[in-house]
Structure 1
Amino acid sequence: MADAITLLHKCHTAKLAYSLAPPEGNSPSASTDDPRQAASVLFPNPPSTDPVRIDASAPSGFKDYDVRSLLYFYQSRELGFSDYLRATSSDKKSFSFMDRKELLDLLDTEPAALKNDPITGASKRPAEEGPLTDSAKRPRLTLDPKDVEFVRHVRERERIVPDNSGNTSLRPTTKQTFASIMELGRKRMAEKHRKPQPGSTHPARPVSQPDPRRANASASRSQPQAKPSQSRHKTPDSRIPIIIVPSVPTARLTLWNVKQFLAETLYIPTQKFVDSGEPKGLRVTFERQLRPNHIGGPKFPKTYQVVDSADNIKPDDWPRVVAAFVTGQGWQFGRWKYKEPAQLFSKVKGFCLKYVDEPAPGDVDKWAVAKLDIHRGIRHNDYNAVNKFWDQVDAFILRDKRKVFFD
Structure 2
Amino acid sequence: MTNAEADPLLLLRQSIASGGAIIPTTTADPSPNIPEVPLAQATHLQFTHPARVAIPIDAPTRFVSNDRPVDLRSIYFAWLNREIAIPDYNASATKLNDELAGTAAVHKFAFVERLDLITWLEGASEESEYIKPLIGEKDGAPASATAVAATSKTVLVSSSARSGRGTLDPRLAQIYSGERRMGDRNTALRGIKPTDFSHVRKVAQPFMSRKTSSSTNTGSSIPSGVAIPSHQKPARRPDPIILLSPSASSLLRMSNVKAFLEGGRYTPPDHNSTTSMLHLSRIMKDIDPNRPMRFILVEGPEQFKPEYWNRVVAVFTTGQAWQFKNYRWSNPGDLFKHVLGVYLGWRGEQPPESIKSYGHRVLACSIEGWRDAGAPGAESSRWRDREVVEQIWKAIETNMRAKGWRKDAAPTSI
State the TM-score bracket (shorter-chain normalisation): 0.3 to 0.5
Greater share of strand: 2
If the length of structure 2 is used for normalisation, what is the TM-score?
A: 0.38
Structure with the greater alpha carbon radius of gyration: 1
